[in-house]
Amino acid sequence: MTNQTFNLGGDLHINRLGFGAMRLAMGTFDGPSRPPETGIAVLRRAVELGVNHIDTAAYYGRGAVLANALIRSALAPYRDGLVIATKVGPIREPGGRPTGDATPDQLRSLVEADLLALGLDRLDLVYLRAGGMTEPDDKSIADRYAALAELRDEGLIRHLGVSNVSAAQLAEARAIAPVAAVQNRHTDDLALLTECEKDGIAYVPFFTLGGGISPLETERLGKVAARLDATVQQVALAALLAQSPNTLAIPGTGDLGHLEENVAAGALDLSEEDLADLRG
């Protein structure tokens, strides 16, 4: 892998193109489960290809097929330098969808469950996911973030992050304990991205490719893709990495072919002409 790297939290050296585990166990929250052996093969190949940052959550799963269990089965004992990030906050309902907000007291049990499921003594990065499946709001996250900060002080967590947050919520969290990463859906919040750049915080858009690409974006991406003999999806990932040195990409897949394609995007070198065409 030739893409640039980032020092997460100042001490975890990771490739900026990582892997999102949401689609390992299922294509969508409403879809059927995938064969576990497929997810295990994808994880092992991802690490072979140089991926050293895996983003997961306990609520990534369908029935008995759970992403965290697949990660442990495929990769434990974990190689040095492999960073596993997880998210807590939502409560997984019986149907598998994350919903509601865990209380500060419930967050401890969620972190302990992640440690057990992944077979770890300490989690590298834990995001507080705010707002369930809704858009960011300004509801206070102070009590819940403080609960995670206590677990960090106890040594159960190395670094903290926040997910699906507004600028006000990020400020609230930073007043309590350092924030190593922000994981939000949108890549067009330039003020928030600028703050992350200024203070060495990783910015990690989720739904990297699954959030929908507009027809206009597809046209622009297609023009560059044809020039580079690449796919539209590969150019979209390369453009995301080119947006900022603090931006990390975590495309997810349960397919070996798609994995190879995604990782290859890290080697794409977008020229100024390419970037100008993408801006339109």
Percent of the chain with pLDDT over 90: 75
- CA Rg value for the chain: 18
Rounded to 5 degrees, what are φ and ψ at 249?
Answer: -115, 135
CA angle 268, 244, 23 (to 5 degrees): 65
Average pLDDT over residues 113-125: 98
Q: Which residue has the higher pLDDT, 134 or 141?
A: 141
- Report whether pLDDT(115) > 50: yes
End-to-end Cα distance, the chain: 29
Higher pLDDT, 188 or 252: 252
Which of the two residues, 83 and 189, has the higher pLDDT score? Answer: 83
Active-site residue 145, yes or no? no
Q: Tens of pLDDT along 200-234? A: 999 999 866 544 455 557 888 999 999 999 999 99
pLDDT digits (tens, 9 = 90+) for 49-99: 999 999 999 989 888 899 999 999 999 999 999 999 999 998 877 666 777
Better-scored residue on pLDDT, 131 or 172:
172
Domains defined for the chain, CATH in brackets: 7-212+240-268 (3.20.20.100)
φ, ψ for residue 61, nearest 5 deg: 180, 170
Whether pLDDT at 1 is above 50: no
Which 3 state secondary structure label does DSSP give 14? Answer: strand
Mean pLDDT of the chain, nearest integer: 90
pTM: 0.93
Given 59, 60, 127, 203, which residue is catalytic? 60
